[in-house]
């Protein structure tokens, strides 16, 4: 598949990514609990990158089909997740807003 | 070079997106930024690896993206918890499939790669089956079978987990066929862990599963060697953990007790076998008609609504908003008290009321509104139960003891709209119902609210406001 990543390097990325996530979220107002969750949920569909890589590297149609199914599941998550989050956020308004 | 720039740009946008999602003003833009980040990431990957196999990519895009968009536009807001669970499960399934596919590739995997495949399979499968079970429970396709509450289920789960571990060892020893039983066992484990959880514990499980899907994505990142996937997955995993922590704090329970302790209070009630005994236990309960309730409301200056899952079930949010508008026209100060775990997912009530066009600044958090209850004339509890139970403060023997609750018992009068005197999800007796200032209004939340609106109109509440405005 893609470039071989050094294990140590990848673990550093994992550690720093986790810390970044903890730092970024911090205190969330309850109004946003659901949108934050479903937005983050959409981001977790980022496995679509792995599915694309699998399709690209697959030597036979069976494996490409598996990649396509994985891609379908991931995109269902991504597209649906972002759209539904947007729908929810569009509803939130303050008193007097229009 | 180009793809590296795109990757870095994508990570930056993802970070900004996640940060922005935590603030109301920026949330919508932030969501769009995060979506853009994924588009950049895909562009970067395709530049790097080329368009080989594009018909398959297109197939996945059309099927998954199309169905996702369709569902996102068409689903009712009241069905949001199960929708989020479904999307989440599909993310987990994707990580699972990718990991299985990666093993079939001719290039040999390193030890770290192999371990990542195992992690991706196990976590992906648990996320998938767990989310699907959660969805089934939220849709009420699935109940909580009695056997899942017995201690034997721990034996089942531990045995399944050990069998998973054995399969993992086999795979590392070179028997890659063991991936198949590993997948099945992990799916079973997801079911075994989620099936006993229900009701008030649902928000914890939903946000935990959300965190898992991030972990599964990060593991898939190790498998295919993508830093971007690892970062994004780790960020989601961490964000989900924070939300899970917030939910646990709101219930004064540890994550372990939610996951392994079974349903709140169920340990006692299932053996003592006392649903009916509990219902009989209520004495001194006053019930009243919507008419009497309307009279009290008409004379009130400050009214607080306490929504719970029952409001969502009855789909009564629009009727509630209509009643609130009527009272506001009459000069009554109206607000809504939101308990952090009211409903079946984090922030459930906020989304439900936003759909009915209730401004979010009228939704008040527990810590902020609790000191205000003593100077509140009327509290109307709609389909909430455990989150307003005074026992959580007074009775150390109660399973709810220590859980922060909305102190509605401090208000001058309390109306509890409820279908019957049956105990709440947790099966715990609620002392609120017996207090002298409490009256029960029995019936479906929507019908009771409609009744209240009619009675108030009959009292001339809407009309006087219109007449007053025309002067």
Q: Which pLDDT does position B104 carry in this prediction?
A: 87
Strand, coil or helix: what is A72? helix
Strand, coil or helix: what is A74? helix
Looking at every residue in chain B, the average pLDDT score rounds to 87
Whether the CA torsion B80, B81, B83, B84 is positive or negative: it is positive
Is the predicted pLDDT of residue B351 greater than 80, yes or no? yes
Catalytic residue among B7, B386, B409, B431: B386
Strand partners, B415: B380, B439
Is the predicted pLDDT of residue B268 greater than 70, yes or no? no
CA distance B354 to B370: 22
Name which of B10, B14, B22 to mutate to probe chain A: the one with the most chain A Cβ atoms within 10 A of its Cβ: B22
Sequence-ordered list of residues with C-beta below 8 angstroms from that of B230, at least 6 positions apart, any chain: A10, A13, A14, A17, B218, B221, B222
| Mean pLDDT value of segment A2-31 | 81
Is the predicted pLDDT of residue B273 greater than 50, yes or no? no
Is the predicted pLDDT of residue B230 greater than 80, yes or no? yes
> Closest residue of B to A81, CA-based?
B87
Name which of B59, B68, B85 to mutate to probe chain A: the one with the most chain A Cβ atoms within 10 A of its Cβ: B68
Q: Taking the domains of chain B in order of start, what are their residue ranges?
A: 1-74, 79-264, 277-470
Closest CA–CA distance from residue A98 to any residue of chain B (Å): 10
> Closest residue of B to A48, CA-based?
B94
Q: Which pLDDT does position A5 carry in this prediction?
A: 63
B158-173 pLDDT tens trace: 999 999 999 999 999 9
Contact B346 A37 (CB under 8 A): yes
Is the predicted pLDDT of residue B266 greater than 60, yes or no? no
| Mean pLDDT value of segment B121-145 | 90
Is the predicted pLDDT of residue B275 greater than 60, yes or no? no
Q: Which pLDDT does position B16 carry in this prediction?
A: 92
Is the predicted pLDDT of residue B244 greater than 50, yes or no? yes
Contact B21 A5 (CB under 8 A): no
Looking at every residue in chain A, the average pLDDT score rounds to 88
Burial state string for B225-254 with b = 16 or more CB within 10 A and e = fewer than 16: bbbbbbbbbbbbbbbbbbbbebbbebbebe
Class level of CATH domain B277-470: alpha beta
Under the banding of pLDDT at 50, 70 and 90, the label for residue A29 is confident
Under the banding of pLDDT at 50, 70 and 90, the label for residue B261 is low
Is the predicted pLDDT of residue B389 greater than 80, yes or no? yes
Closest CA–CA distance from residue A95 to any residue of chain B (Å): 5
Name which of B103, B107, B219, B239 to mutate to probe chain A: the one with the most chain A Cβ atoms within 10 A of its Cβ: B239
Burial of A56 (0-12, 13-18, 19+ CB in 10 A): buried
Of B15, B34, B52, the CB nearest to A56: B52
Contact A40 B214 (CB under 8 A): yes
> Closest residue of B to A92, CA-based?
B354
| Mean pLDDT value of segment B21-25 | 89
Q: What is the 3-state secondary structure (H, E, C) of chain B?
A: CHHHHHHHHHHHHHHHHHHHCCCCCCHHHHHHHHHHHHHHHHHHHHHHHCCCCHHHHHHHHHHHHHHHHHHHHHCCHHHHHHHHHHHHHHHHHHHHHHHHHHHHCCCCCCHHHHHHHHHHHHHHHHHHHHHHHHHHHHCCCCCCCHHHHCCHHHHHHHHHHHHHHHHHHHHHCCCHHHHHHHHHHHHHHHHHHHCCCCHHHHHHHHHHHHHHHHHHHHHHHHHHCCHHHHHHHHHHHHHHHHHHHHHHHHHCCCHHHHHHCCCCCHHHHHHHCCHHHHHHCCCCCCECCHHHHHHHHHHCCEEEEEECHHHHHCCCHHHHHHHHHHHHHCCCEEEEEECCCCCCCCCHHHHHHHHCCCCHHHEEEHHHHHHHHHHCCEEEEECCCHHHCCHHHHCCCCCCCCCCCCCHHHCCEEEEEECCCCCCCCCCCCHHHHCCCEEEEECCHHHHHHHHHHHHHHCCHHHHHHHHHHC
Q: Which pLDDT does position B322 carry in this prediction?
A: 94
Q: Which of B104-108, B121-125, B242-246, B334-338 has the lowest mean pLDDT?
A: B104-108
Under the banding of pLDDT at 50, 70 and 90, the label for residue B470 is very low
Is the predicted pLDDT of residue A56 greater than 70, yes or no? yes
Q: Within 13 Å of residue B29, how many CA atoms lie on the same side as its CB? A: 7
For A62, the enclosing helix (H) or strand (E) is helix A61-91
Q: Which residues of A touch B28 (CB under 8 A)?
A: 86, 89-90
Q: Six-digit token pair at B162?
A: 């050990």
Give percent above pLDDT 70 in chain B.
92
B85-116 pLDDT tens trace: 999 999 999 999 999 999 888 877 888 889 99
Q: Specify the pTM.
A: 0.88
Of B223, B347, B361, the CB nearest to A33: B347
Q: Six-digit token pair at B34?
A: 């995060």
Strand, coil or helix: what is A27? coil
Q: Which residues of A touch B226 (CB under 8 A)?
A: 2, 5, 49-50, 53
Q: Which pLDDT does position B196 carry in this prediction?
A: 84
Q: Six-digit token pair at A7?
A: 């294990």
Closest CA–CA distance from residue B282 to any residue of chain A (Å): 34
Burial state string for B180-198 with b = 16 or more CB within 10 A and e = fewer than 16: eebbebbbbbbbbbbbbbb
Closest CA–CA distance from residue B288 to any residue of chain A (Å): 33
Q: Regarding predicted confidence, which is higher, A74 or B52?
A: A74
SS3 content of chain A, % helix, strand, coil (to 5): 80, 0, 20
Q: Which pLDDT does position B252 carry in this prediction?
A: 82
Contact A43 B235 (CB under 8 A): yes
Contact A25 B243 (CB under 8 A): yes
* Interface predicted TM-score of the whole assembly (ipTM), two decimals: 0.92
Under the banding of pLDDT at 50, 70 and 90, the label for residue B11 is very high
Asked if residues B182 and B118 have their Cβ atoms less than 8 Å apart, the reply is yes
Contact B53 A58 (CB under 8 A): yes
Q: Regarding predicted confidence, which is higher, A93 or B327?
A: B327
B289-314 pLDDT tens trace: 888 999 999 999 999 999 998 898 88
Q: Six-digit token pair at A6?
A: 């050094």
Give percent above pLDDT 90 in chain B.
54
Q: Which pLDDT does position B236 carry in this prediction?
A: 92
Is the predicted pLDDT of residue B181 greater than 90, yes or no? yes
φ, ψ of residue B302 in degrees (nearest 5): -135, 120
Under the banding of pLDDT at 50, 70 and 90, the label for residue B272 is very low
Strand partners, B306: B381
B386 carries an active-site annotation: yes
Of A3, A31, A74, the CB nearest to B347: A31
Q: Which pLDDT does position B423 carry in this prediction?
A: 57
> Closest residue of B to A84, CA-based?
B72
């Amino acid at each position: 598949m893609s470039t071989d990543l050094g294990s140590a390097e990848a673990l550093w990325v994992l550690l720093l990514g986790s810390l970044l996530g903890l730092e970024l979220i911090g205190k969330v107002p309850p109004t946003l609990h659901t949108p934050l969750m479903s937005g983050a949920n959409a981001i977790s569909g980022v496995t679509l990158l792995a599915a694309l890589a699998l399709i690209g590297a697959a030597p036979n149609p069976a494996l490409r089909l598996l990649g396509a199914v994985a891609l379908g599941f991931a995109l269902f998550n991504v597209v649906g997740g972002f759209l539904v989050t947007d729908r929810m956020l569009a509803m939130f308004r303050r008193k007097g807003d229009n | 070079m180009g793809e590296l720039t795109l990757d870095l740009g994508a990570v930056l946008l993802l970070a900004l997106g996640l940060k922005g999602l935590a603030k109301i003003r920026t949330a919508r833009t932030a969501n769009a930024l995060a979506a853009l980040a994924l588009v950049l990431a895909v562009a970067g990957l395709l530049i790097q690896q080329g368009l080989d196999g594009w018909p398959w990519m297109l197939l996945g895009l059309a099927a998954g993206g199309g169905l996702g968009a369709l569902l996102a536009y068409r689903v009712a807001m009241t069905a949001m918890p199960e929708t989020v669970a479904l999307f989440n499960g599909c993310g987990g399934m994707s990580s699972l499939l990718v990991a299985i596919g990666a093993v079939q590739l001719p290039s040999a995997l390193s030890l770290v790669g192999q371990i990542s495949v195992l992690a991706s399979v196990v976590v992906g499968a648990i996320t998938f089956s767990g989310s699907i079970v959660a969805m089934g429970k939220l849709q009420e396709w699935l109940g909580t079978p009695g056997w899942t509450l017995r201690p034997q289920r721990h034996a089942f789960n531990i045995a399944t987990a050990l069998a998973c571990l054995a399969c993992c060892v086999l795979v590392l020893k070179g028997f890659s066929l063991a991936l198949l039983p590993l997948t099945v066992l992990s799916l079973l484990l997801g079911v075994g862990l989620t099936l006993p959880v229900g009701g008030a514990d649902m928000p914890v499980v939903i946000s935990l599963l959300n965190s898992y899907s991030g972990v599964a994505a990060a593991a898939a990142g190790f498998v295919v060697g993508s830093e971007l996937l690892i970062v994004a997955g780790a960020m989601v995993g961490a964000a989900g953990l924070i939300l899970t922590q917030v939910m646990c704090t709101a219930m004064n329970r540890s994550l372990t007790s939610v996951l392994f302790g079974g349903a709140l209070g169920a340990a006692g009630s299932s053996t003592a076998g006392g649903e009916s005994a509990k219902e009989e236990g209520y004495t001194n309960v006053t019930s009243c008609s919507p008419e009497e309730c309307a009279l009290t409301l008409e004379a009130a200056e400050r009214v607080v609504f306490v929504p719970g899952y029952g409001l969502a079930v009855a789909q009564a949010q629009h009727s509630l908003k209509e009643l609130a508008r009527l009272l506001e026209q009459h000069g009554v100060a109206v607000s809504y008290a939101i308990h952090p775990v009211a409903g079946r997912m984090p922030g459930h009530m906020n989304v439900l009321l936003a759909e009915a066009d209730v401004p979010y600044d009228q939704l008040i958090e527990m810590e902020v509104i609790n000191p205000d209850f003593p100077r509140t004339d009327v509290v109307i509890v709609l389909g909430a139960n455990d989150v307003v139970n005074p026992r959580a403060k007074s009775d150390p023997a109660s399973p709810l003891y220590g859980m922060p609750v909305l102190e509605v018992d401090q208000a001058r009068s309390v109306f509890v709209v409820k279908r019957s005197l049956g105990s709440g999800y947790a099966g715990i007796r609620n002392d609120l119902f017996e207090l002298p200032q409490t009256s029960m209004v029995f019936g479906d939340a929507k019908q009771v609210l409609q009744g209240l609106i009619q009675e108030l109109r009959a009292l001339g509440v809407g009309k006087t406001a219109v007449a007053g405005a025309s002067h």
